[in-house]
Amino acid sequence: MSTLLEVSGISVTFDGFRAINNLSFRIGTAEMRAIIGPNGAGKTTFMDIVTGKTRPDEGRVIWGEKSINLLKMNESQIARAGIGRKFQRPTVFEDQTVLENLVMALKKTRTPLSVLGYRRSSDDIDRVEALADEIGLRAELPRKSGELAHGQKQWLEIGMLLAQEPRLLLVDEPAAGMSPAEREHTTALLVEAAKTRAVVVVEHDMEFVRRLNCKVTVFHEGSVLAEGSLDHVTANQHVIDVYLGR
């Protein structure tokens, strides 16, 4: 399995506080990975760095077969290169319909002029409707996304991620605030997605992580503490000390 993303030796400091400390991480092209760790372990900052929101003080972030340096790119370029991100809180455009949200996310040329001249083709509509089916929002397409329930917004956001057709999905706490049934649906969506692309899930909920049934990386104080199957890491004494033991 070839490597899709390789992060090596990154560090970042905020006003003297070392949020990420010599962290290295890699993931393959079609792989599911869960990241766990206590609050302040650097999970969100790690995602910020990969998506270009935060610049690390040192280290390298290498992407894809052509080994592109992501640190030289801005957020939108990274997104277009194939990294999609879902935030902790659902961030959909509440003022716009589900359809508009999904159309905006569809993988298309993103320059202002081409967007200005864009007309929805029947292919695009089909694609959106297929996605809506997948995330269970087919009936909600003409509704304003602000009117959706919390879980539906989460799905819509996952749907938007999928519409982007990224090669790597970064998902921050997708199951937060969901009912058990909704969680199951979310798990299914992510597992399905991981068949064709890399998916990184940050999650606190061990049950959810267990259901994902994938390799787990444990972050602590800005570095990787342990890596392996969930059973393997939960047996690790360090992990128990810093995280699970508490």
Partner 1 sequence: MTKLILIGLRAALFWMMTALVALAQTPIQDLLQTYQTEVAKPSRKSIDTVVDALIASGLPETRQVLFKWQNKDLFQRNEDGLFFFAEDAGNDSYRLIDIATGQSVGEYDRKAVTQLKPNAGVRGVIANALVQFQLTDPDPIKRARGLQAIERNAEPSHLKALRASIDGEDDPTLLARKQRLERILTISYDTDSAARVAAIESFSTDLGVDARAALNPLLATTRKAAPGLPQGQNVAKTLKPGSDDLSRSAAYDLLVEARLAPPLVPLSEQKAALIANIENGQVGGIKLRQLDNDAARARAYATLAGQGLAPPTVTEADIDAALARHVFYDLYTEPDSAVTDAAEKALTSIKTRVGLNQALDLALDGLSLASIYFLAAIGLAITFGVMGVINMAHGEFIMMGAYTGYVVQQFIPNYTVSIIVALPLAFAVTFAAGVAMERLVIRWLYNRPLETLLATFGISIALQQIAKNIFGTQARPLTSPGWLDGALVLNDVVSISYIRIAIFGLSLIFLVLLLFVLNKTRLGLETRAVTQNPRMAASMGINPDKVNMLTFGLGSGIAGIAGVAIGLYAKVTSELGADYIVQSFMTVVVGGVGNIWGTLLGATMIGFLQKGIEWLNPSNTLAAQTYMIIFIIIFIQFRPKGIIALKGRAAGD
Partner 2 sequence: MQKPFFIRNPSVMIFVALLAAFTIGVTILSQGFGIDVISTSMVKTLGKTLCLCLIALAMDLVWGYTGILSLGHFAFFGLGGYMVGMWLMYERTKAIVVNSLAEAPLPPTPNEIREGIGTQIFGVVGGAEIPPIWVFADSLTMQLALVVLIPGILAFVFGWLAFRSRVTGVYLSILTQAMTLALALYLFQNDSGLRGNNGLSGLQNIPGAEGVPQSELSVYFLWASALALGLGYVLAAWIVGGKFGSVIRGIRDDEARVRFLGYHVESYKLFIFTVTAIIAAIAGALYYPQAGIINPAEMAPIASIYLAVWVAIGGRGRLYGAVIGAGFVSLVSTWFTGGQAPDIPLGFYTVKWVDWWLVLLGLSFVLVTLFAPKGIGGLFDLISGRIAPNRHGADLGPGMGSLREQEAEK
From CA 23, how far away is CA 35, in angstroms rounded? 13
112/245 with CB nearer partner 2: 112
Distance CA 192, CA 117 (A): 34
Choose among partner 2, partner 1, none what residue 95 binds, the Cβ cut-off being 5 to 8 Å by kind: partner 2
Nearer to partner 2, 100 or 134 (CB): 100
Report if residue 231 touches partner 1, rule: CB under 8 A.
no
Which residue in 179, 186, 172, 101 sits closest to 140, CA to CA? 101
In the window 103-132, what residues touch partner 2 (CB under 8 A)?
A: 103-105, 110-113, 115-116, 118-122, 125
Strand 198-202 and strand 32-36: pairing? parallel
What track of x and - describes contact with partner 1 for positions 17 through 56 (by CB under 8 A)? x-----------------------------------x---
Q: DSSP per residue over 4-20, as a string?
A: EEEEEEEEEEETTEEEE
Question: Can you tell me which of 14, 57, 125, 241 binds partner 1, judged by CB under 8 A?
Answer: 14
Residues composing the chain:
246
Would you count residue 44 as binding partner 2 (CB under 8 A)?
no
Residue nearer to partner 1 on the CB measure, 18 or 144: 18
Q: Which is nearer to partner 1, 137 or 202 (CB)?
A: 202
Under rule CB under 8 A, residue 43 binds partner 2: no
Cα distance between the two ends of the chain: 36
Applying CB under 8 A, which part among 6-14, 73-81, 183-191, 195-203 lies near partner 2? Answer: 73-81
At closest approach, how far in Å is the CB of 74 from partner 1? Answer: 14
In the 8-state DSSP scheme, what is residue 144?
A: B
Interface stretch with partner 2, choices 5-13, 99-107, 131-139, 221-229 (CB under 8 A):
99-107
Binding to partner 1 (CB under 8 A): which residues in 114-143? none
What DSSP string describes 86-108?
E-SS----TTSBHHHHHHHHSSS
Whole-angstrom Cα distance, residue 217 to residue 228? 7
Give the separation between CA 234 and CA 207, rounded to whole angstroms. Answer: 13
Q: Which is nearer to partner 1, 17 or 123 (CB)?
A: 17
**15 lies in the binding site for partner 1 (CB under 8 A):** yes
Alpha carbons 91 and 210: distance in angstroms, whole number: 26
